[in-house]
């Protein structure tokens, strides 16, 4: 049960991560990398550790449409 709870937290859009989501969108638009390889770029640009960057990236991928709607795109 703990795994399912942890996975649902990662999969959910986190409003506190909007700055990170915006950075990921900038990375996507730049074409610097395939988004599956974007976590190290996010970690470097945002100054966060790699584990958090991977969780943010996973959340961004799972919730892309909702995140874009919140950005007004």
Instruction: Kindly report, residue by residue over 3-56, the tens digit of the pLDDT.
Output: 555 555 567 899 999 999 999 999 999 999 999 999 999 999 999 999 999 999
The answer to whether residue 31 sits within a structural domain is: yes
The answer to whether residue 5 sits within a structural domain is: no
70: left (phi over 0), alpha (psi -120 to 50) or beta: alpha
> How many domains is the chain built from?
1
The answer to whether residue 45 sits within a structural domain is: yes
The answer to whether residue 15 sits within a structural domain is: yes
Using the predicted structure, report yes or no on whether residue 71 has a pLDDT greater than 90.
Answer: no
The answer to whether residue 1 sits within a structural domain is: no
pTM for this entry: 0.83
The answer to whether residue 49 sits within a structural domain is: yes
Both ends of the chain: CA-CA distance in Å? 36
Domain residue limits at 21: 10-71
The answer to whether residue 4 sits within a structural domain is: no
The answer to whether residue 32 sits within a structural domain is: yes
């Amino acid at each position: 049960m703990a795994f399912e709870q942890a996975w649902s937290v990662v999969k959910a859009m986190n409003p506190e991560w909007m700055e990170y989501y915006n950075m990921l969108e900038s990375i996507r638009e730049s074409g610097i990398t395939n988004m599956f390889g974007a976590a190290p770029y996010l970690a470097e640009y945002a100054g966060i550790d790699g584990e958090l960057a991977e969780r943010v990236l996973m959340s961004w991928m799972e919730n892309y449409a909702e995140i874009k709607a919140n950005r007004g795109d």
